[in-house]
A and B are shown apart, each in its own frame.
Chain A
Amino acid sequence: QSALTQPPSASGSPGQSVTFSCTGTSSDVGAYNYVSWYQQRPGKAPKLVIYEVYKRPSGVPDRFSGSKSGNTASLIVSGLQADDEADYYCSSYGGSNWLFGGGTKLTVL
């Protein structure tokens, strides 16, 4: 049950786009379209921003988008805003377990 792999940090200036990667295996990310992404601000609970690879929950702006290729999923945040600064975690269903990535800390410069 290894965690999914995410780079520890990312940054961008307001208005720019940033891409977060999430690498799993053919048993989890590559096998199922049940990749989700969560935003977590300091001291707060995680908040769902993407589910089933690319779908957005109600209330999440369309600046957030998701995709998947093989064993790697991606979250793209466009038109960066100061309020986007947070930790971002990917997650995937793995058949009989559920995996999270180590998280990527986004800094808005």
Chain B
Amino acid sequence: EVHLLESGGDLVQPGGSLRLSCAASGFTFNAHAMSWVRQAPGKGLEWVSLITGGTGSGTTYYADSVKGRFTISRDNSKNTLFLQMNGLRADDTAVYYCGRDFYTSGRWIDYWGQGTLVTVSS
């Protein structure tokens, strides 16, 4: 059974940093692209970042809203996905979900974690 468990969400001040983790189990982690998707309180889903899997593992993509501030990475030996968030702003406040993509290169998310809450506030 596919299982994704996010952690690392917290209350952080504007301008601060945070590192989210997503522990994966139940599938061949390195064979799949992985994404971060966020949802601000009461708002819709927003794609944040994706990292490819397979032989091309490690190609990264970012939404314009986080480019230059966030870095996605993966440790295939530990089946873990990361999101390093720097220069956090109030509008980064959201539940952050990690998602497994069906393909290695990223086309659609077939499994989601339960999310971790990031609150950016002074």
Contacts and interface: CB of A to CB of B under 8 A. Distances in A.
Interface of A: 1, 3, 34, 36, 38, 40, 45-48, 51-52, 57, 87, 89, 91, 93, 96-103
Query: Which secondary structure dominates chain A's binding surface?
Result: strand
Contact of A91 (B102, B108, B115): B108
25 contacts: A1-B65, A3-B46, A34-B107, A34-B108, A36-B108, A45-B97, A45-B114, A45-B115, A48-B108, A48-B109, A51-B110, A52-B108, A57-B110, A87-B44, A91-B45, A91-B108, A93-B108, A96-B61, A97-B47, A97-B61, A98-B35, A98-B106, A100-B37, A100-B44, A102-B44
A48 B110 contact: yes
Interface string B89-112: 000000001000010001111111
A98 B110 contact: no
Interface of B: 35, 37, 44-47, 50, 61, 63-65, 97, 102, 106-115
B111 to A, nearest CB: 8
B47 A99 contact: yes
A99 to B, nearest CB: 7
A18 to B, nearest CB: 19
